[in-house]
Structures are given as structure tokens and as C-alpha cells.
A and B are shown apart, each in its own frame.
Chain A
Amino acid sequence: MAALRLPKCALRVVGIGLPLVLLSTPARAQTSSDTGAPRTGPLSGYMDFHYNKVEFEDGRLDFHRFVLLFTHSFSERLRFVGELELEHALVEGLEQAGELELEQAYLDFLVSRSFNVRAGMLLMPIGIINERHEPPVYYGVERPFVDTVIIPSTWFEVGAGVHGEVGRGWRYRAYVASPLNAGEFSADEGLRGGRQKGAETNAGRIATTGRLEWVRYRGLTVGASFWNGRSGFEFRPRFDVPVTLVEADARYRPTDRLELRGQLAQVYVDNAGQLNDALTRQIGVGPNIARSLRGFYLESGYRFLSGTRAGDVGAFVRYENFDTQHRMPDGYLPLKEFDRDAWVFGGTYWPDPDIAVKVDFSVMRSQSAVIKAPNSLNIGLGWWF
């Protein structure tokens, strides 16, 4: 009975105090104090497997990527990130099969928001895909052609550098890293074969690379990247093959459903004539390496089902134009079958934001009147955990 006769002011106090206590409970349940002690993060990763049916060939099933990521914090300011990738499921000695790659293994020395130091095995900060390539985040079963033969993703090398963010959304990365090996360049895949991948790399000529990114407004990312390095270290007598790659890209998501992407990349290979001559002497066949490679693409994707209990469904179309024989050195003619463009269209079903079931069809054309670029049907399943 006594409780029923509480003064009105006391009831008001209880009325304010009780909700405060209740409000504080769930907040506390979600928080935890950080002691700064070393801690190893959980294992994460992504996987995808594909069915690829290239025109005039039998279809292939390929467990393309099995990737594990892990972290460890030595302290608040000293952190390790590793990414280990098994490509094509199987690694066998001396056979053309899969690859086991250490794509990332670096230490971050976190100094401030605007200045941090990173060293180890680094992803080159070039373009949209090279640093952001988890299967659910891009349309299409395979990565864009431009991100394969013009920008050789996944592109990783040993190196060190700085990164940070200044002002409202200006992010940068600037690294020195091991260079490309020009002795492995090719007419059809450009720089791709020249990646040293951190395996006893030649460090006689250090490359520089960097990226500036503007991420101020929700859904909009604009970036520009470069890579520059002398890549002719294999030849005797020595001569330089300076390589420069410049790139610009943008991603824009004006609504939750619509996403637009565009990317332009150009590569310059100096002394390409001398490189071709040297390789011809070495391997007996002229590799026909260009002095300039260029590619661009535009992509539009739309989720026509979004936020439903069954998941999201989206469709996309992408136009790509890529030419690994864009400009040739004096005395060399371009191989027109490597001046290609492609319309890629298809769809993705996300039963969960971290799982993507994909299908696409690539209609490829080349400028060659003789050699036809094959079309392809691709089906894929990828996930992140």
C-alpha cells in the first residue's frame, strides 16, 4: 500500500530513470572495452567456382578461387593482414595447373588517420577490381576483361608505402614495389605475365605506384591510379623498358538498386621495339609487344528485386573495349585479333548479401577479319564468409 502512495515527484524520477537504465542495457550489451592486448581475428574468406563454355570449346568446371583472410593485432597501432589464395583447386609441381598465391601479407603501422605505413606483400592500388574483388561485390562471373589484360589483376608485389585519408573523403596510397618483368609481356595479355608476385623478385629497379580516391558522398567513389617502373632487368646487355600505367575510374550508386561503373586504363611501354628485338633473339619468335595498350568499360547494374525475404536479384550490361596492340613500335604491325570489344550481360541472385549466383554471356568481337573472338557463357557461384 505504501508504494501506491509515492509522491508525484518520485514517480517522475522513476519515470525518467527507469527508461534511462533500460536504454543503457542493450547499448552495453553491444559494446566491449578494448584492452589493447594482442588479438587474432577470426578467419574470413571468399570462394567461387565457375562453369565456362567458350564458343567452339567444351565447357569447363573450375573451382576458380579459394581464398582465406586473417588478421592479427599486435597492438592498437600494429596490425597484420594476410590473404592466401588457391586458384584452380590444384597445385602440382612443374605442371600447368593451379596456383597457391600469397596475395597479401603486410604489416600496418597506424600513425594517424592521414598517415600510416604499410610493408609486405601489397595489392597494387590500381582500378576498381584489384583491391575490391570479393565475388558478391561485382557483376559478372569473371572479372572485366580490362581488369585482366590491361590491368593485370590480381596484381600484388612486395613493397612498402604510405596510406591515409585527409579532409573529407580524400584517400591515398603510395607504394614502392618490385617491378614487372618485361621479358614475360605478351601481345594478347599485355603486362599480365610480367607480374613477379613477390617470389624472389628482382629489386634492382624499384617501381612506384599510387592511387587517389574521393569518397565523400554516399554511393560515389572516384579514383585515379598510376604505376611506373623500369622492367627490362632480364636482358644482357641491359636496357631499360620503362612501363607506365595510368587509370581513372568511378562507381556511382544513386539509389540502393542502381549501380554505374566506368574505368579507363592506358599502358605505355617505352623501348618496346628493343624489347621485341631482344625477345625475338631469345625465344626465336617475335612477341609483338605494343608500345601502348588501352582499355575502358562502362557498366550499369540494377537490382529489380531488393530487400525481399528471398534475397536480391539484379541484371547488368557492360561494354568493354580493350586493345593490347593499341600503338606499335616502329617496324611492327598490330595483331588485329587483340583489338577487341565485348558486350557482357547477365544477372545475379543474392540469396544472402554474401552469396552470389551469377550467369552472364559475353559477345566478343575483334578487328581481325580472319580470327574470330569467341563468345562465352559463364555460370558462377561465389560467397564471402
Chain B
Amino acid sequence: MVVLMLKPMLAKAMLVGTIVVTLSTPSSLRGLAQTSQPEIVEIDAERFSFTPSEIRMKRGVPIELRIRSDDTNHGFRILDTDVNVLVPKRGKGTVTVPFRPDKPGRYIFECTKLCGAGHGFMRGVIIVSE
């Protein structure tokens, strides 16, 4: 009997909990639940460029940025978002960044780890269209 009484209560609690978890999850990650296969974009970082340096995507379509370095540590930050990661050195792996912006526009990304004389040139853009 106790089990039968708990059952609807538990179901309600789980429902509320799920809504809370969903709302508190960053928009860039909500896309993972809605679309199981994000588009993968591989980015090569080296002194002093990101290749590609211009990425085009549709609003609401999740992408997964896989960034690797051909030389030293680089940083990868997308301005006006909370994306700010360290790219490991050559041969030390790849950093993966899920990204799904809700607003169309131009999202500038840049290297945040001082990497040499031309560090300031390491910038690029993600262009999000409707």
C-alpha cells in the first residue's frame, strides 16, 4: 500500500525535477538532448591561426567543435559566451566544445593563451544564421 501511495508522488517529483534540470542546463547543452548527432567541426590551431577561421551554422543546430593544436598550448574562447577552454599541445589530444547558440549573429572566437609574437592574430568567427 505504501508503494502504491508513493508512486504518483514520486512521478510528480521526477517530473518537476526534470523540468528544473532542463531549465538549468545551458542552452548549448540542451541541443544534445534534442539532436543526438551534432555536426562536428574540426579546428586546427597553430601559431598564429585557427583553421577554419570562419564557421557557418544555423541557429538552433548544435555543433561540436573539436580543436587540436599543431604546436603549443592555445586557448579557445568564444566571446560573449561561457566557452573558454585550453587546447592541449601537439599530440596531447583534442578539446571538444559543444556549442548551440540560440541567437543568430557573429560569435568571435580567439586564442586566450599567449602563444608567441603573433598571438593577437589568432581570431575567428562563427556566423549563426536563421
On A, residues with C-beta under 8 Å from B are 1-2, 5-7, 9-10, 13-14, 16-17, 20-21, 23-24, 27-28, 30-34, 41-42, 44, 46, 69-71, 76, 79, 81, 83, 103-104, 108, 113, 118, 123, 131-134, 136-137, 163, 165, 167-169, 171, 215-219, 221, 253, 256, 306-307, 312, 352-354, 384
Q: 9 A-B pairs, CB-CB below 8 angstroms?
A: A6-B10, A21-B21, A23-B32, A24-B25, A32-B84, A34-B77, A71-B119, A83-B117, A354-B89
Residue-wise, chain B 53-69 has the 8 Å CB interface mask toward A (1 for contact) of 11000000000000001
The 8 closest A-B pairs by CB, nearest first: A10-B14, A353-B89, A44-B114, A353-B90, A307-B91, A31-B82, A30-B85, A215-B49
On B, residues with C-beta under 8 Å from A are 2-3, 6-7, 10-11, 14-15, 17-18, 21-22, 25-26, 29, 32-33, 44, 47-49, 51-54, 69-72, 77, 79, 82-86, 89-92, 95, 97-98, 106, 108, 114-121, 123-125
A132, B118: Cβ atoms closer than 8 Å: yes
A224 to B119, CA, bound (A): 20
A103 to B53, CA, bound (A): 27
Q: Smallest CB-CB separation from B43: which chain A residue?
A: A218
A354, B91: Cβ atoms closer than 8 Å: no
A69 to B22, CA, bound (A): 44
A63 to B30, CA, bound (A): 54
Cross-chain pair count, CB within 8 angstroms: 151
A5 to B75, CA, bound (A): 48
For B119, list chain A residues within 8 Å (CB).
69, 71, 81
B114, A41: Cβ atoms closer than 8 Å: yes
Contact A165:B118 (CB < 8 A) given known A14-B14, A136-B72: no
